[in-house]
Structure 1
Amino acid sequence: MITPAGADDTAESPEPRIIYLVKRVELIARAQLDAITREYGLTTLQYTALSVLRAQPGLSAAQLARRSFVSPQATTEMVGTLEAKGMIRREPDPGNRRVLRTHLTDAGRAALEACDRAADLLEERMLRDVAPHDAAALRRALTACASGLGAFTGAGAARA
């Protein structure tokens, strides 16, 4: 856009897209969460899986994959690693012996709680300049956004 000589050059630039801001926050928070979980011998994806198992004990590997946003192949490897570390245990489902149900161990719960404390501090730092009512509104808005986008998957998502 060309402005006439002497015109005010202080025109405001457009605000950044919300999607950009969400991605920026995600990248910064993820890098810091990666550092936190690494201190406790975990990856962020393993921390997520342990958190899911705390909320929903006894999931199969396929269920854990879906709820942890990880491919079934990656979940198989992750479950094996967590089991080898003694953070989870698997036992056959009484109704279907081919399905293994996954549960936290005491060691897994302890690692999860330690990461939770550090993640709480990270979240507090992230929200330090946000009023509590705005933080609550942000949580509701992001939950609604995730729900709204949850129906969009695959190649058609960008066109919908």
Structure 2
Amino acid sequence: MSEPGPDPGDTPDARLFFHLQRAAHQLRTTADRRCLAAAGITTAQLGALFAVREQPGVTQRELAGVLGLRESAVTALVTRLTTAGLVTKQAHPREHRAVTLELTSEGADALRAAQPEIDRFNGEMRALLGEDEFVRTAAALSRLAHWEP
């Protein structure tokens, strides 16, 4: 079922949040389906694996900050990743209650398996938006993601 056309009285700013929410949902569900098929992981897991790969030894608290999630959500995410054998947890060398995270070879394999799908997805977004608009949109979304009102 497609979205009804815009109301003639709507201004672009009146529907921005709605369009962001719809786009985020559409992109997330499509990307999740593709990543699950290609590598057996969701986009949330993919983001966590990228973060752990980029910062070996990251703590769960630090990972929560990188991903913009609550620590309780990251605890559940890390549990799924460790259960799947994609990351390991070790005791933090200085903080007795913290653990550090390391990517396993299976986690690295999952990232490699997902990469062609990520590339294809980004290629489709570039084709849809055009290169200049793709770059501007990525920059605008990055600013929004780091906005602190």
TM-score, normalized by the shorter chain, greater than 0.5:
yes
More displaced stretch, 26-35 vs 114-123: 114-123
What is the rounded CA distance, in whole Å, between the counterparts of 1:117 and 1:15 in structure 2? Answer: 38
- Residue 75 of structure 1 corresponds to which residue in structure 2? 74
Aligned to 2:51: 52
Following superposition of structure 1 onto structure 2, how do residues 78-157 of structure 1 map, counting pairs within 5 Å? 78-148=77-147, 151-152=148-149
Judge conservation of contact 2:125–2:134 (CA < 8 Å) in 1: no
Give 1:25's aligned amino acid: A
Structure 1: state its 5+ residue gaps. Answer: 1-11, 153-160
In the alignment, which residue of structure 2 is the partner of 1:31? 29
- Give the letter for the 1:121 counterpart: R
Query: How many pairs align?
Result: 140
Question: Aligned equivalents of 1:147 and 1:81: distance in 2?
Answer: 27
Q: d(CA) in 2 for partners of 1:66 and 1:50?
A: 14
Rounded to whole Å, the distance in 2 between the matches of 1:42 and 1:135 is: 25
Opposite residue 41 of structure 1, the aligned amino acid is G
Q: Distance in 1 between matches of 2:65 and 2:138?
A: 22
Equivalences for 1:6-25 in 2 at 5 Å?
A: 14-16=10-12, 17-25=15-23
Unaligned runs of 5+ in 2: 1-7
Superposed CA offset, 1:29-84 (max 9, x none)? 11111102322222222112112212222111122122223322222222122112
- Which one is further off, 82-91 or 39-48? 39-48
Deviation per CA, 1:105-125: give whole Å up to 9, x if none: 111011022223212211211
Task: Give the superposition deviation at 1:100.
Answer: 1.1
Distance 1:24 1:127 in 2: 19
Q: How far 1:25 sits from its partner (Å)?
A: 1.7
Q: Secondary structure at the match of 2:146?
A: helix
CA contact (8 A) 2:86 2:103 kept: yes
Counterpart position of 1:6: none
CA distance in 1, matches of 2:30, 2:143: 25
